[in-house]
Structure formats: structure tokens, C-alpha cells
Structure 1
């Protein structure tokens, strides 16, 4: 195999390839009417991205480790890592547990919640979605603790306000098929919000995300992601992207935060866990597809990494590398 040619055809847009895999599965969607004084504590949902689309009123979003932010009508907020967080009337309000509040199930994964009494409620569409692809989960894990977008701040390219208006219409006047339309619109909002942050925020040019956009590190990452069974070495990867071994190793570690071969091992283990959790996979075939010479060698590597044997793996948690 001509590794140089393979690298050239692997990807002209590594970040775009990762975005292409951001296909999500909805876990829960909830349309909420919340009357002040407002204080709702949403629990952590591991492995999920959570979002809030504000259609009327305003409330504070408080995520651990991030500054509280005031959300107004027309804003859209993401909590990418599924961390527990609060929606509040004021930045210091007390919060009640979300799952202890009454909700009406509308079928499927969609529900409505009404909380409190009075005038001028805050209305919002909230949800939690899961990304099943390993690379998509890696991208979402690289996002900050919270992302907040405002239609006004987007200026002439404001895509947010019209989608929010459609979403509000669907959830306020439920029609046949309304649940399906509302969930699709929410999914579009999530994808567009991630794309907008990646395009505009300086933080998207650092770390693993920055490496994906690097002219040489990006193609190297694609080779590891898409050809995990190739017997890559530091030297062969460096050669594939036309870099010296030492320069490639130094730039990769500085950008990604770990040595090349450690990243490759963690990537292979993440793929292994995902495939094992899906079931119906033979260990020998899995080992071969990930570049291991034998089932025994793969099993030892997997147990060193996870503390469990491959045969005992269950879908207990998502992988973050």
C-alpha cells in the first residue's frame, strides 16, 4: 500500500467527516411552561447532550464549572457533556428535582411539563440526545461545558430564529405527526449550534479539535480513525503526512495532549467497547479489525484499559478519549 497516496485520499476535511457522523438518537424531549419563581435541577444524563430552546420569557442556566448565563427568548443553549444543571429565575435561586415534577406523556419520547402558577411563564423546549458513533461522541466530548447562541447575535446569517419559530408552532399546536416534526427540528438546532460554535469560537482551534483542522495532523487522525486495523507506527504515520518522526510526535502531543501511539490505542479500545456493546461480534474478528495479531493479545490490551474482559463488556458508560 502506498501510504502517502492513502493519506492524500483519506480526508480533505477531517472535521467535516466528524460532523457528518453527528447522527443522534433522542432520549427525551420536553416542552415546558415554567412560572416564576423558577428553580429546576436537571440530573446528569451520562453520554447525552442536553439542550434548551427558549421560546418565551427568560431564565438563568447554571452549569457546574461555568459562569451562569441569562437565557432570553430566541436563545438556544447546549450542555454537551450531559452534566446536571439548573434552570432558575435568578442566578442564586433554589432548584427542585426535574423528575419529581409532574409531566404529561404525549407518546414516544415527547412530554409536556407545567410548573407553578401566575403570569408571564418561561416556555422552552428541552431535550437530551445521544450520539452513537464513537467519533461523534469524541467530538461532542471536546465541546465546552455550555454553548449559548442568540439569534440576534448571529446577524444576517440568523438561522436560529426561523427554526425556533417552527418548533414553537409545532409544540404549541400539536397536529398529526407533530411529535416527529418537533424532534427533527430540535435535532437540526443541535447540529447547527455545534457547527456554528466550531466555525466561530477560538476554542475550536485548540486541542483535539484544532488537530483535526491541522493540515497534517488532521489527515493523520483520519487514518487512525478510519483504518484502526492498519499496523501503524509513529514512523509510518509521520511518513503518511510528510513529516519527520520527531516533528510529528511533538506537534501531535502538544495539540492532542497525549503521544500518538497512546491515542491510537485509546481509539482502538473505544471502538472495541462500542462494538462489544452492540453485541453479535466475534472476538477474533474484532481483534483482527483493530490490528491485533491474536484474540489473546487483544483481550489482554482491553482488560488493561478497562479493567474488564471483552466478554463481560456491557453498555454501562460511553467512552471519552
Structure 2
């Protein structure tokens, strides 16, 4: 039995990660969310402020509107459209293209709970109903992924047969937002999580720019497997040779291909990813710096602290003292 266990264990160890890109999307878990049901009548226009560190979205329930953001073409959003502003940039929503706007903070909102409000605005004409939200992604790897996205992503019902999910999810979200029942905030937060990830999946499937850089590397058969190994087991004593062996490539060919696709050498990427993991641990677990340094493969706390600050821009002590970030404090 022991021999069989060893054989099976070896077979399992050799099984390659199935979906490196899917595993990377796992890091898009949300640390917080604020959402608003907007009941608008023509003429109307809203200027939304930038929300640093957030991913903002709009769901069109009824009516239509124009979305304008710097560096992207104005977009006409209609019922069933899901629009994502990944970088938290300020933008404008109007009933007509180029219409006048008022700043969001000037408009009356009815706060229904700590994370949910209802906004009513306009001149009494044709109605439009939106669900707007801002979500915060606290994991550094998530911010790394989001930094590669375009300024605007939109998914329409007609984009592909796969967007049936969009309509059913949007209807569910609209129903929950219309009459907030017990547990409704949790449901809407989970639905927003699904919508954001699904919108990114649709963009990755359709946009050629998603097949370059880090996202493209995740979809490469060999480099993607190596990245997934690093993501799954960042504390392992990986070397270029051991990673190359696991993906059945020579050391030199693997190193060259990894560097070309990812944009940095394997060991540099591994070190940076370990700092991402350490950042997350400091926020959630609050381990001692010596313990964390040893876990990340550093011989001393000082060496770990220098590496952490080089990659993350702040000291590990500062991250640990700050504790979990309150999403609402970032708006």
C-alpha cells in the first residue's frame, strides 16, 4: 500500500495545473463594495468622482445612457449592458451624449444601509434605472491584473452565446436592489463578484490585447503551468531548473520564454509574487516578521524587509500596523 501511495502521489505531483488563467482570476476576491440604485428621469447627468483602488461598474436595468471616460470612446449603454471601469477613474453618465452633469456629491441620496443607497435625480421625463457599484480588490495580485485592463470594458447581451449568464444575473441583481430583503446586501455583493469576473473572462476571450503580457503568459501551455506552480506554492524553494523540469523544458529555453512572455526573469517574478503573498498575510494573519521571513525563504528579517519594501513600496511593519482596509475609507 505504501508503494502504491508513493506512485499515486508522484502521479498527482506531475499533474499540470488545468487552468492557470482561471486560478489567477481567483485573486479577484473583493474586500468590500458600495452600490447604489439610481432612478433617473430626463434630462439628467451625473459626474462620478475617481475612487482610487476601486473597480466601478454600471448595470442598465431600464432606459439607456451615455458613459464618457477619458481616453475611451463614449459608450451608449442599453438594457442588459454591463459596463466596467476597472481603474476607478472619474467618468460621466448622461441621458444624451455630451449632456450637462452635476457632481454626484451634490445630488440627494437616501442611505439605506452602510453600503447601499438610492439616488433619485432628473427633470421628470423618460426614466432610466441603473445599478452602480464600486468594489475594492485588496489582494496585490488582483491590482496587478487590473492594472493591465483597458479603461473601459463592456459586455452586451449580443456579444456571444455565453452571455445568457449576464441577463439572468442582472435580473437577479435588479430584483434584489429594488426591494432589499434580509441578506440582500450579501447576495448583491456575491452577484457583483460574479459579474466582474465574468466580464473579464468575456474581454479576455474576445480582445487580442488580452493575449499579450502577463495575461498572455498565463495562457501559454508551458509558461502558464510554471506561473500556476508559483501561484499555488510560492514558498517552495523553486529554481529556474526545477520550474523548467516541471514543465518539461530545458533550463535555458524556459528562462528565455518566461522572460519574453512575462516581462521579467522567473526568479524575479517569484520574489515579487512572494511579496504579494506576504502582503496578504500581514493584512489578514498578522504573523511575526521573523516567522514570515522564514516562510518566504529569507535567512533574516532584515533581508526580507528590504525585499518587501523594494517590491511593495512600503515596509512590512507599516502594512501590518494598518490592518484590514476599510473599503469605504477609500472612496
TM-score between both structures, scaled by the size of structure 1: 0.86
Gaps of 5+ in 1: none
Cα contact 1:7–1:223 (8 A) shared by 2 = no
**Deviation of 1:94 (Å):** 4.2
Describe the shift of the 1:16–1:156 C-alpha distance in structure 2 as closer, same or farther (beyond 3 A): closer
Check the 8 A contact 2:56/2:132 in 1, yes or no: yes
Find the aligned partners of 1:119 and 1:66 in 2 and give their Cα distance. Answer: 28
Distance 1:312 1:178 in 2: 35
- Aligned-pair distance for 1:246? 2.8
Counterpart position of 1:311: 317
Which of these residues, 147, 154, 168, is aligned with residue 162 of structure 1? 168
Matches within 5 A, 1:296-307: 296-307=302-313
Residue pair 1:211, 1:218 contacting (<8 A) in 2 also = yes
In structure 2, the gaps of 5 or more residues are 1-9, 326-331
Please name the residue that 2:106 is paired with.
100
Q: Quote the offset at 1:21 in angstroms.
A: 4.2
Taking the aligned partners of 1:29 and 1:94, their CA distance within structure 2 comes to: 23
1:68 aligns with 2:59: no
- Which residue number in structure 2 is paired with residue 33 of structure 1? 39
- Are 2:258 and 1:248 aligned? no
CA 1:84–1:219: 2 relative to 1, 3 Å: same
Determine if the alignment matches structure 1 residue 113 to structure 2 residue 113: no
Going from structure 1 to structure 2, the CA distance change for 1:300 and 1:60 (only over 3 Å counts) comes to same
Deviation by residue 1:67-122 (Cα, 9 ceiling, x = unmatched): 22111111111112222222123443344322332111112411100112212122
Q: Say which is worse superposed, 105-114 or 30-39, in terms of deviation.
A: 30-39
Distance 2:172 2:152 in 1: 24
Show the counterpart of 1:289.
Answer: 295
Q: Distance in 2 between matches of 1:27 and 1:156?
A: 26
Q: 1:214 to 1:118 in 2, by over 3 A?
A: same
Q: Deviations over 1:1-45 (max 9, x none)?
A: xxx978733512111222344432442010001233333222222
Contact 1:7/1:240 (<8 A) preserved: no
Give the distance between the partners of 2:158 and 2:108, measured in 1 at CA.
Answer: 34
Give the corresponding residue for 2:268. Answer: 262
Q: CA deviation at 1:316?
A: 9.8
The verdict on how the C-alpha distance between 1:279 and 1:180 changes in structure 2, with shifts beyond 3 A counting, is closer
Distance in 2, matches of 1:95 and 1:247, equals 56
- In structure 2, the residue matched to 1:18 is 24
Alpha carbon RMSD of aligned pairs, Å? 2.7
**1:53–1:77 Cα contact (<8 Å) kept:** yes
CA distances 1:137-167 after superposition (whole Å, capped 9, x unpaired): 4333333221101113334752222222232
Q: Distance in 2 between matches of 1:296 and 1:10?
A: 36
The correspondence for 2:132, drawn from 104, 109, 126, is 126
Whether contact under 8 Å (1:30, 1:112) holds in the other structure is yes
Distance 1:75 1:303 in 2: 41
How many residues matched?
A: 314
CA contact (8 A) 2:46 2:93 kept: yes
